[in-house]
Amino acid sequence: MKTKFLIPLIAGLGLLCACKGKSKSSSETADSVSTESASFTKEKSLTPKSDSLPNNTKLVKTADIRFKVKNVQQTSERIATLTTSLNGTVIHNYIHSTTSDSVNIQKSNDSLLRVTVLSISDDMTVKIPPGNMENFVEQVTHMGIYINKSKMDITDKSLEYLSTKLKLKNQYELIGQQKNGESNAKDPDNLLALKNSMVDQQIGNRKIDDSVKNSTITLSFYENNIINKELIANDNLSAYNLPFSKRLSMSIENGWDVFVDVFVLIANLWILIPIGAGAWLVVRYYKKKKTIALAKN
C-alpha cells in the first residue's frame, strides 16, 4: 500500500527537478546570447569605418579685410603683436609707398627743395587658430577709421579630404598587390606616376589639415596721403656758376691773354712786313713806268 503512494511522489519530484534545470539552462543560454550580442555590438561600434570622415569635418575659414588707418606703421606693429598674443603667425608683411606727385623748388645754385606726395599702404597675411579668428577680426576692425570691405568665407573640405584618403587607400592596396606579385601592372613609368600622384595627394591633405588648424586672414590697410619735404643737391651741373665779379675779372684776364697771343703771333710773322713792302714798291714802279710809256705815245 505504501509502495503505491511512494512511486507517484518520486515521479513528481523528478519531473519538478527536471523542469527547474531546464529553466535555469534556458536562462543561462539567453544571458550568454545577450552578452555575446552586446559584446559584438560594442566591438562593431568601436571598429572605425574605412570610408568615415576623420575626427571632425574639415572646415577652412578665411577672411579678407581692407580698411583705412591713421598710421600704417603703427597699425602694422599692433597687428603683429595681436597675432602673436592669439597664437598666430604673420606670414606676409609688405609696407610700400607710391609717389603721387613731386616738384623741385630751387633754393640755391647747388640745392633743391623736393616736395613729394606719398601714398603709404600695407599688405599683410596672418594665420590664426579658428577659435581666435572672430576675436582677431573684431579687434583689427576697431583699429581702422572705416572699413572698405570685410569678407569671411567657410569652405567645407570634408568630401575632398575623404576622396583623397580613399584614393590613397586604393593606391596603397595596388602597390601591395604589385609587391606580392598579385598584379601584372609593372610598367616603371606608370608605377612612378602613381607614386608621385600619391605624394601630391598626401601633400594636398596636409595642406587641408593646416588650413583647418590655421585660418588665413588677408589684410590691406592705408592712410591719408602725406607731404614729404627734403633738401637735396642740385644734379644740374649747368647751375654751378661762379659769381659775376669773379667771372668779369676772369673775362678781362682772358681778353688780355688773347691780345698778347695775337701780338706775339704778329711778331713771329715780322718777315712778312718787308716782303709785303717790297712787293708793293715793285708793283708801284711798274704801274708808274707803264703810265709814262702810254703818255709818250
pLDDT for 230-269, tens place per residue?
999 888 777 777 777 887 888 888 888 898 888 888 778 7
pLDDT of amino acid 46: 35
The three-class DSSP label of residue 242 is coil
In a domain, 246, yes or no: no
Q: What angle do CA 270, 251, 233 make, to 5 degrees?
A: 145
* In contact, 63 and 218? CB cutoff 8 Å: yes
pLDDT band of 192, cuts 50, 70, 90:
low
Instruction: Report if residue 291 sits inside a domain.
Output: no
Q: Domain range holding 103?
A: 59-155+213-230
Give the least confident one: 18-32, 141-155, 207-221, 259-273. 18-32
Determine, yes or no, domain membership for 187: no
Give the contacts of 140 (CB within 8 A, at least 6 positions apart): 65, 67, 79, 82, 219
Cell triple for residue 238? Answer: 649747368
Start-to-end CA distance of the chain, whole Å, equals 227
Is residue 283 included in any domain, yes or no? no
| pLDDT confidence bin for 206, thresholds 50/70/90 | confident
User: 20-52, pLDDT tens digit by residue?
Assistant: 444 444 444 444 434 444 433 443 333 334 444
CB-CB contact of 113 with 231 (8 Å): yes
Cα three-residue angle 118-124-129, rounded to 5 degrees = 160
- In 3D space, the residue among 221, 246, 277 whose CA is nearest the CA of residue 69 turns out to be 221
Please name which of 91, 118, 89 lies closest in space to residue 223, comparing C-alpha atoms: 118
Task: For strands 226-233 and 111-128, give the pairing.
Answer: antiparallel
CA atoms within 13 A on the CB side of 46: 6
Length of the chain: 297
83 C-beta neighbours (distance < 10 Å), count: 22
95 is a domain residue: yes
- Which is nearest to 83 in space by CA: 122, 121, 139, 123? 139
Higher pLDDT residue, 18 or 114?
114
**Residue 109, in any domain of the structure:** yes
Residue appearing with cell numbers 590664426: 128
246 and 162 Cβ atoms separated by less than 8 Å? no
The total number of structural domains in the chain stands at: 1
Cα gap 126→73, rounded to integer Å: 16
User: Which range, 16-25, 35-44, 144-153, 161-170, is most confident?
Assistant: 144-153
Q: Is residue 44 part of a domain?
A: no
**C-alpha cell of 16?**
519538478
Residue 125 lies in a domain: yes
Cross-strand partners of 137 = none
Residue 67: exposure state from Cβ atoms within 10 A (0-12, 13-18, ≥19): buried
For residues 93 and 73, give the distance between their C-alpha atoms in angstroms, rounded to a whole number. 11
